Amino acid sequence: MDSVKENVIPTVIIRPVRSVPSELEQCKSLIRTLWLDQHFPQNFLDRVIKAGDSELCHVEEKYLKSPRNHWWVAQLNDNKIVGQVSLRPMSSGGGEDSSRFYKYIDPQDYCELRHLAVLPEYQRQQIGYRLLKASIEFARQNKYKALYVNTMLSMKRACEFYERCGFERAPEIERHELANTKKIKLFNNIDQLTEDDWNEIKNLGETEVKHYYDQSYFMKL
C-alpha cells in the first residue's frame, strides 16, 4: 500500500455515508454503474443490483451502528457522490473459507472489502486509493489482521489496482453459474482454465455466456 503514490485531490472528501434517501440513491447508482459496465445478461444484473440496493436500505444498522463495520463515500464539493467502499467482518457473509490463504489467522480476524467503486469519469484520480486507505486504517484500528476482497477476472483494471496496492492474489479461481451462483467449480490455479473459460471471460457481452469467474485478493494488516 505504501508503494502507491498518492495524488491528493482537495476537492474530494472521504467520509462516512449518511443514511438519507438522496445520498443512498447516489450509492445505489454507483453499484448499478459498476455492474452495467460488465455487460452481463440482464437477468443476472437484475439479481445483483437488487442485492446491492437491499444492503444500502439497511446501511445504518448493518454498517454505521454495527461494531467493526463501516461504509465510506467520496464526495465532491457540490455534494455529488463519485465513489464508495464498505467494510465488514468476513463472518458477516461471503468469503468464510478464505482463511485458506493465511491459515494462521482466525477467520474472525478477517474483514471483507465490499462495493469499492468510482464513477468512470472520476477514475485514475486516486479516489479509489483514498477509499481503500480509509478502509485499511479503520481495519487496523479495529484489530483486524487480514483484509479480503473478491472481484472478477473480467474486471482487469480492478485486479491490477489491488495488486498495485499490495494485495496478494489467491491462486484459486471460482467459476459460478449465472443461473445458479451457488453452483461453483474451483480451479486450483489460473492455468487450469480452459480455452472455453477464457472465451467466456473475454465475451461477457454475449448472451451465451453462462459463467463468471471470481478472483480473491488478500492483505495482511
Mean pLDDT of 94-115: 76
pLDDT, residue 45, reads 75
pTM for the model:
0.85
Report d(CA 146, CA 109) in Å as an integer: 7
Predicted confidence band of residue 160 (pLDDT cuts 50, 70, 90): very high
As a three-state string, the secondary structure of 33-77 is: HHHHCCCCCHHHHHHHHHHHHHHHHCHHHHHHCCCCCEEEEEEEC
pLDDT digits (tens, 9 = 90+) for 133-147: 999 999 999 999 999
pLDDT, residue 134, reads 97
**68-90: string of b/e by CB count within 10 Å (b at 16+)?**
bbbbbbbbeeeeebbbbbbbbbb
Higher-pLDDT residue of 218, 8: 218
Mean pLDDT taken over the chain: 84
Nearest to 129 by CA among 83, 77, 67, 87: 83
Percent with pLDDT over 70 in the chain: 88
Q: Is residue 139 a contact partner of residue 148, using CB atoms and an 8 Å limit?
A: no
pLDDT digits (tens, 9 = 90+) for 56-95: 877 888 888 888 999 999 999 888 999 999 999 987 655 4
Least confident of 36-50, 87-101, 140-154, 181-195: 87-101
The CATH superfamily of 12-220 is Gcn5-related N-acetyltransferase (GNAT) (3.40.630.30)
Tell whether the model's pLDDT for residue 19 goes beyond 80.
Answer: yes
pLDDT, residue 204, reads 66
pLDDT, residue 220, reads 94
Which of 44-48, 97-101, 131-135 has the largest mean confidence? 131-135
Q: Is residue 165 a contact partner of residue 2, using CB atoms and an 8 Å limit?
A: no
Domain boundaries, the chain: 12-220
